[in-house]
Amino acid sequence: MKRKATDPLPRLVESFFREHLQRVRGASAHTVHAYRDSLRLLFEFLSKATRRPVSKLTLEDVDVRHVLAFLDHLECVRRNSIATRNCRLAAIRCFTEHILRHDPTRAAQYQRILAVPTKKARIGAAAYLEPEEVEALLRQPDARATTGARDRALILFLYNTGARVSEALAVSKNDVEVVHPARVRLHGKGAKDRICPLWKETARAVQRVIDDVGDDDGPIFRNARGCPLTRDGVAYLLDKYARSAAREIASPARQKVTPHVLRHSCAVALLQAGIDVATIRDYLGHVSVATTSRYITTNLRMKREVLEAFWKRAGLDDRRAPEGRWRPTADVLAFLASL
């Protein structure tokens, strides 16, 4: 009796991560981890759906029926957002393209998965803090303590540079130049570096953090045990200080203050300062100016100023009517009435 060949699914999963993502595409560790989590959830779902352990799953199980059921499971059972659902689908598509290249005999099966569309979602307004709200946030850490000085430096750094939290947590002392002009090198998405200037206050605060770290060349933002801060750690600190700041100013209490809210706040502050969108795009490391343009639609203060300027220009307010405004004479009105 001829022995059944081993299904290549496990081998293709390994080659997808080790060869395709890391060697061919040069994906970041963050992307690799996101795709790993997506496929892990998919395989666990397939295991329950087929009533077989993950080790017994085959390429036949990776079909559109199961993928659609998995996407529904994410939204209905796990209560994931549409954005998260679409991110999981992107990972599945990428993996499907990989197995299609190695298993063309099931091309029709894989093409049906690739044809699954992303789900449209309403894009909400970007949450951000006004400068006075950031000031209230910065007053919360106790700068006399080592951890308080670190926290204040981190908040200043995120607001000053508009860095993604992953970019901020990857900064080492070799990336920072505190002499005039102070600046930092950020390692962004897609292995793209950019240089951001630092305020003098930010440079001083970061220098103190670097001095506390010592000669270690690793990331400068550390926890109390000397290990690099994590995303969750930063999120916890910001939430704690936002709750404390809410006692001074009401606005932060209305929204959850996350690292990305400080990134949005930086973008809006630059916009309010009159910086053009193309420059803000480079400052934040956006690929497309369309991403940066989103902040124009969310900036309530600028909308208010535009509306006031429009009102004055329209001349609808008699109390502020410009001198010399043209007004029709009685003769003109009589002429028009005779037409």
d(CA 339, CA 332): 11
- Respond yes or no: is residue 164 known to be catalytic: yes
Q: Respond yes or no: is residue 128 known to be catalytic.
A: no
Of 85, 164, 173, 222, the catalytic one is: 164
Q: What does the DSSP assignment read for 89-154?
A: HHHHHHHHHHHHHH-GGGHHHHHHHHTPPPPP---PPPP---HHHHHHHHTSS-TTSHHHHHHHHH
Q: How far apart are CA 322 and CA 318, in angstroms?
A: 9
Q: Is 286 among the residues known to form the active site?
A: yes
User: Hey, what are 145's tokens?
Assistant: 């303590």
DSSP single-letter state for residue 320? G
User: Which DSSP category does 20 fall into?
Assistant: I
List 35, 159, 283, 295, catalytic entry: 295
Q: Find tokens 């950020």 and name the residue.
A: 186
Are 257 and 137 contacting, i.e. CB atoms less than 8 angstroms apart? yes
Active-site pick, 85, 150, 263, 264: 263
Q: Which two tokens stand for residue 15?
A: 């080659």
Separation CA 237–CA 239 (nearest Å): 5
d(CA 50, CA 56): 10
Dist. CA 292–CA 95, nearest whole Å: 30
Residues 284 and 290: their CA atoms lie apart, in Å, by 13
264 flagged as catalytic: no
Q: What number of other Cβ atoms are within 10 A of residue 238's Cβ?
A: 24
Give me the catalytic one of 93, 185, 260, 294: 260
Task: Respond yes or no: is residue 30 known to be catalytic.
Answer: no
Q: How far is CA 121 from CA 83, 178, 282, in A?
A: 7, 43, 27
Q: Which entry of 66, 73, 139, 189 is annotated as an active-site residue?
A: 189
Find tokens 């949450």 and name the residue. 127
**Phi then psi dihedrals of residue 19, to 5 deg:** -100, -55
78 is catalytic: no
The answer to whether the beta carbons of residues 296 and 302 sit under 8 Å apart is yes
Q: Which residues are catalytic?
A: 164, 189, 260, 263, 286, 295
